[in-house]
Amino acid sequence: MKTAAPSPKTERNFFQDVHEVVRLIPTGRVSTYGAIAHYLGARHGARMVGYALIAAAPALSLENVPAQRVVNRNGLLTGRHHFATPTAMQEALEAEGVRVENDQVVEFKKLFWDPATELE
């Protein structure tokens, strides 16, 4: 991620970087845990991206970190269990115009947003 070196007062951490990238995913698009991890230089850090989103849930609302826009590499809503209700993730995506069937994003490849190509 191309950012200025943090000053001692504002040290960054991986979770904050994940939240920052997730905030950049446009409405109506989705990204994956792995794509975000790869962009942040943690090639095998998909699970850590998930942990960062779980950590954001109690402290930040979906408006601040739209975690519903992050799905697994096949477009499945694997994070749905971490939302307030079992259908909340799907409902949030559908409110943004993303169609979901059987817990999977329809037209996933078309809606996929890769930070490595979109932000470089």
The answer to whether 35 and 117 are in contact (CB under 8 A) is no
Residue 4 DSSP class: P
The answer to whether 33 and 46 are in contact (CB under 8 A) is yes
Task: Give the per-residue pLDDT at 4.
Answer: 47
Q: pLDDT for 23-79, tens place per residue?
A: 999 999 999 999 999 999 998 999 999 999 998 876 556 568 999 999 999 999 999
